[in-house]
Structure 1
Amino acid sequence: MSEKMVYALTIAGFDGSAGAGFISDIKTMAHFGVYGQAVCTAFTEQNEDEFVAPGWVIWERIEAQLETLFRRHTFKFVKIGLVEKARTLKRIVEFVRQKSPDAFIVWDPIASASAGFHFMRDAETFLPIMKSIDLVTPNQDEYEYLGLESAAARGEIRMGHDFALLLKGGHAKGDESVDTLWYKDHQFKFTSPRLPGKGKHGTGCVLSSAILANVALGKDLPTACEIAKQYMNEFLESGEGRLGFLV
């Protein structure tokens, strides 16, 4: 790590397996030399194969955690993960924007746990909030669930203009995994061979945190996404079973 420490904040759930949530985010950030700090939105009960309960943290406790950390640091790079509902996301984004107006905010929407538990039941109400976020990173299911394609067709949003969007290709079909980034009215594609049988727990958390870490280190967004994609390939081939691990 350089002499001047680079900080980032993750606002996400606790996963005791350390495969997803803010523990995974901090591990990923540390890999790139960024010091991650965390606010907990949910004390989930899970392991890498099973999701039991979300254990939501009430807003007042989330706000208290944010207040305490922002008293010490003005975070310029923020990642948001698991949130209970749109109102919670809105409050978090408004808090960050008030304390750090020019912060780069990434939201990794989580519609369901890999073990099958479903979140974001008020999906349609998330759309207006995204215009206050810099980058949204859904997989194909989350992209459809949030109605992003239909909203763009209706002219309600302009992806790449109102906010950057990275559509992850890991859940799609085909021999290649293609991630598509809409950014500043341009489209970028990041392609890698699909790795059959290499399913890992927490891949969305890892990818979004890797992107944020590289933006924090001064990379432009397309370059940060490309580096994160390469890192994800290494992550998918690491560790044992559904847990990946890179040092």
Structure 2
Amino acid sequence: MNYKFYFFVIGLFSSFFYCQVGINTTDPTATLDVNGNTRIRTALVLPVTESANKIMAFDSNNLVNTIDLNRIFSNSPNGQTIIKGLGGAGFSVLPLSLLTGWQKVSFPVLEIDEGLNFNTTNQEFTAPKTGIYNLYFFLEMASLSSASTLGAGIFKVDGTTGVTSLLSEESFLNISVLGINVSSPIRKTLTIVKLNAGDKIVFGMKAPLLDIGLFANSKASFTIWRIK
């Protein structure tokens, strides 16, 4: 019996069912191990059941794996948090005082809410996970009263203690010249803050009570973006 032929056949079938191919290497450690640059001359076509929103990237072992971008930017707590709220003709304030002189702003429209973390009933954002958040608040009044202070502020409500603190604000006095208000009708503020899961963010407006009826045609908007 030709034992050499016998072992050759076994080796051939073994390599057929399980083999590793090395290019520019004699010791492949993956099904296809390329030691050098790679060029793909034709487009990679995914099966129709697969998502097209995928990329190929190297992992910590220098192996190529696919990454599903839908998973990265999903609505789950592990995905991104992106929210944009708008207040047009329906912009108003709630009868809730945040701190002395500040009223909570109500936004009738959410243009974006990736993650559904903004409660439109109490107008509060709840951080779904601990991270670094970018917060922006814009306020534009249709009319102003002189000799009064107008402000836009971003507030944090601690998820454990319930304590409210002012994170960022832009407030200044309206000024009039010869009876004409010359102050800018815009207030805006921006901050980056670390939030723990369960912390809340609300937006506030500072204005005398008599001025609150002045924003029938005013505008307000905010954005929240978890950056890390």
State whether TM-score is above 0.5. no
Higher-RCO chain (CA-CA 8 Å, sequence separation at least 6)? 2
Larger Cα-atom Rg: 2
State the TM-score, normalizing by the size of structure 1.
0.23
Q: Which has the higher helix share?
A: 1
